[in-house]
């Protein structure tokens, strides 16, 4: 039978954060699954001051779908409690990018499961943020990231650890770096989103997305 497959909200997260951190940006993502258990990261971003609007559409193949409207926003730090980690496990890498430009110190608690994903994502996030001279601290299974209004200088080589979500997250970070980042491996993105780079490049225009 013909089955409608809604857009993946975890993949949408990269474009949402890209629009939030690149000045003058505005995007609309259409036909995305709005399953409550998959979009907790949007609630977190809204608490950070993100201008995000969900427009609910039809229920397709048992999933509520709709569009996500996003505008550039000046973000502020939040504390993300441990009890939310099951709903955010795939979004912590891209949330760390948002935290790096947010005013104040964002604390992400109880991230033990991140150590057992495609890479030890606590280590992957920490190592790459430090390369960009972003204030990041790991204490047991908690990550603290102090954001800066000064754009990252860039020019560093990102080690993806073969992890698609680390690679995609720092490709988004690359959009605001003064000097371009290089990557040891972008092939790993093909695990979940082979067209990611093409889609990211297709929405980039001068003065925003």
Active site residues: 90
Output the CA–CA distances (angstroms, integers) from residue 80 to 22, 89, 101, in the order listed.
23, 12, 16
Cβ neighbours for 80, distance < 8 A, ≥ 6 positions apart: 44, 88, 95, 106, 107, 108, 109
Backbone CA torsion sign across 9, 5, 185, 117 = positive
Report the distance separating Cα 105 and Cα 79, nearest Å.
Answer: 8
Which residues, 6+ apart, have CB-to-CB distance to 201 below 8 Å?
A: none
Per DSSP, the residues of 7-56 read BPHHHHHHHHHHHHHSTT-EEEEEEEE--GGG-HHHHHHHHTT-EEEEEE
Contact indicator for 143, 137 with CB cutoff of 8 Å: yes
Q: How many Å apart are CA 127 and CA 62, to the nearest integer?
A: 40
**What are the C-alpha distances in Å from 16 to residues 69, 149, 164?**
8, 19, 17
């Amino acid at each position: 039978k013909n089955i409608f497959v809604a857009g993946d909200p975890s993949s949408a997260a990269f474009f949402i954060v890209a629009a939030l951190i690149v000045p003058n940006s505005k995007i609309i993502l259409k036909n995305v699954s709005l399953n409550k258990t998959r979009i907790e990261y949007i609630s977190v971003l809204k608490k950070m001051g993100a201008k995000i609007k969900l427009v609910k559409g039809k229920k397709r193949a048992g999933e509520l779908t709709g569009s996500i409207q996003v505008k550039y926003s000046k973000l502020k730090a939040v504390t993300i409690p441990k009890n939310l980690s099951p709903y955010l496990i795939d979004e912590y890498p891209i949330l760390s990018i948002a935290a790096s430009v947010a005013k104040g110190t964002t604390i992400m608690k109880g991230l033990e499961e991140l150590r057992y994903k495609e890479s030890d994502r606590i280590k992957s996030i920490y190592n790459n943020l430090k390369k960009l001279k972003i204030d990041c601290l790991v204490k047991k299974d908690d990550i603290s990231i102090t954001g800066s209004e000064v754009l990252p200088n860039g020019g560093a080589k990102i080690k993806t650890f073969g992890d698609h979500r680390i690679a995609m997250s720092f490709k988004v970070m690359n959009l605001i770096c003064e000097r371009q980042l290089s990557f040891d491996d972008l092939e790993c993105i093909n695990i979940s989103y082979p067209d990611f780079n093409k889609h990211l490049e297709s929405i980039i225009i001068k003065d925003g997305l």
